[in-house]
Amino acid sequence: MIRISIPNIDQEDIDSIIETVKTGFLVQGKKVQEFESIMSEYIGVKHAIAVTNCTAALHLSLLALGAEKNDIVFVPTYSWLSTANVVELIGARPIFIDIDEESFNMNPEILEKKIKSLSKSEKNKVKAILPVHVFGNPNNILEISKIAKKNNIKMVEDAACALGAKVDNKMAGSIGDLSCFSFHPRKAITTGEGGIIATNNQKYANVLKALRNHGLNPESPKPDFILAGYNCRLTEFQAAFGISQMKKFNTILKLRNEKANYYNKLFSSTNIITPNPNPNLQHAFQTYTIVLPKKINRDKVMQELKKENIEVNFGTYNMPSTKFFKKKYGYNPKDYPVTHDLSSRIIALPLHDFLKNEEQDFISQKVLKQIK
């Protein structure tokens, strides 16, 4: 089976986890601090706050912005469910914005129109814009950031898949008021479960540190609890794993881009649409996707590829069309035409550090055979 994804774990990672466990210091200590400073330096922000996973990172970020019941948060239609779930979890309402056809990211023009169409009382309820770097593509983030600033709305980047992505030389995760990263095994580097919140804002950083640790004031020398917090602490051995993974990250990012470019070449001059290389942008390629021609039955192609022992999936989710959101807010395909169309045409192909050119040749042949 050619796996869709394999985490890159070597002996150094394993040794660093074991050594850390042996010390007996297991939760949020020196290793977590070291991991945080490596991440803040890499992303280029003042503060990085480690938490249990990216879903917690997103949840706590909205709380740090003061988002609460009946508020409004703009989210894209096409993402992993966390992006919209965290809005629901605080009792706020997600307003779904359709995506742009090339990058699958939130479409800035549709966002701007939607903001303009809100009533005054609705506008007062808007707490944040939560754009996603889908599959590691940072496209549109600068435009969305401009719209956020112009309308005086905070922006939280869901950069779960975008570690290392850049646009106009700015790092994904350094643009929003707060930005969230994931270290789930399906991402480019992993700590098992794990997440980071990046911010330049000292006030948010302090609130987040309290929120992740039972409300404990991070600045007070004597224990003092300033809010009702959660327990979202990362363990020391996960942080040690992350520190070790980061040593390889530049190589990993380069490998993923090389393999993505090789796929692009294999599919060039076919009627398959590949990720569009934009010279001002560095894609992180957490996932490599293709878009099939309109009349092809995507699910059948996926079945045929699986029969050839090629592990594939359908990318990510059309969130407003899932059972929960559909039932709560209704779903009309006409409201999200681009997502409705693309979410039935996308296939995610295997992409990992160990994938060989010959395997990519084989995969592309099998895909092309299906669409002839």
The amino acid present at 206, given as its one-letter code, is N
Residue closer to ligand PLP (CB basis): 28 or 316: 316
Among 98, 100, 158, 236, binds ligand PLP (CB under 6 A): 158
Asked if 289 and 135 count as a contact pair (C-beta separation under 8 A), the reply is: yes
* DSSP state, residue 34: H
Q: Does 98 bind ligand PLP (CB under 6 A)?
A: no
- Nearest Cα to 370, choosing from 271, 301, 303? 301
Residue closer to ligand PLP (CB basis): 53 or 235: 53
Asked if 236 and 20 count as a contact pair (C-beta separation under 8 A), the reply is: yes
How far is residue 334's CA from residue 330's CA, in Å, rounded to a whole number?
A: 12
CB of 129 to ligand PLP, least distance (A): 15
Q: Does 136 bind ligand PLP (CB under 6 A)?
A: no
Q: Does 80 bind ligand PLP (CB under 6 A)?
A: yes
Query: Of 77-85, 234-242, 268-276, 345-353, which part binds ligand PLP (CB under 6 A)?
Result: 77-85
Residues that contact ligand PLP, how many (by CB under 6 A): 14
Strand-pair partners of 179:
157, 198
Query: Of 13-21, 153-161, 163-171, 228-236, which part binds ligand PLP (CB under 6 A)?
Result: 153-161
Among 195, 229, 242, 315, binds ligand PLP (CB under 6 A): 195
DSSP assignment of 247-306 equals HTHHHHHHHHHHHHHHHHHHHTTSS-B-----TTEE---SSEEEE--TTS-HHHHHHHHH
Indicate the length of the chain as a whole number: 372
Residues 301-360, interacting with ligand PLP (CB under 6 A): none
Asked if 96 and 319 count as a contact pair (C-beta separation under 8 A), the reply is: yes
Q: Which two tokens stand for residue 37?
A: 């400073």
Query: Of 157-165, 218-226, 251-259, 342-350, which part binds ligand PLP (CB under 6 A)?
Result: 157-165
- Whether the CA torsion 13, 19, 24, 28 is positive or negative: it is negative
Residues 173-192, interacting with ligand PLP (CB under 6 A): 182, 184
CB of 317 to ligand PLP, least distance (A): 10
Residue closer to ligand PLP (CB basis): 165 or 367: 165
Asked if 181 and 193 count as a contact pair (C-beta separation under 8 A), the reply is: no
Neighbours of 257 (CB within 10 A): 17
- As to burial, measured by CB atoms within 10 angstroms (0-12 exposed, 13-18 middle, 19+ buried), residue 214 is middle
Task: Build a one-symbol-per-residue string for 21-60: x at contacts with ligand PLP by CB under 6 A, - elsewhere.
Answer: --------------------------------xxx-----
Q: Does 105 bind ligand PLP (CB under 6 A)?
A: no
Q: Does 82 bind ligand PLP (CB under 6 A)?
A: yes
Strand-pair partners of 154:
128
Site residues (vs ligand PLP, CB under 6 A)? 53-55, 79-80, 82-83, 132, 158, 160-161, 182, 184, 195
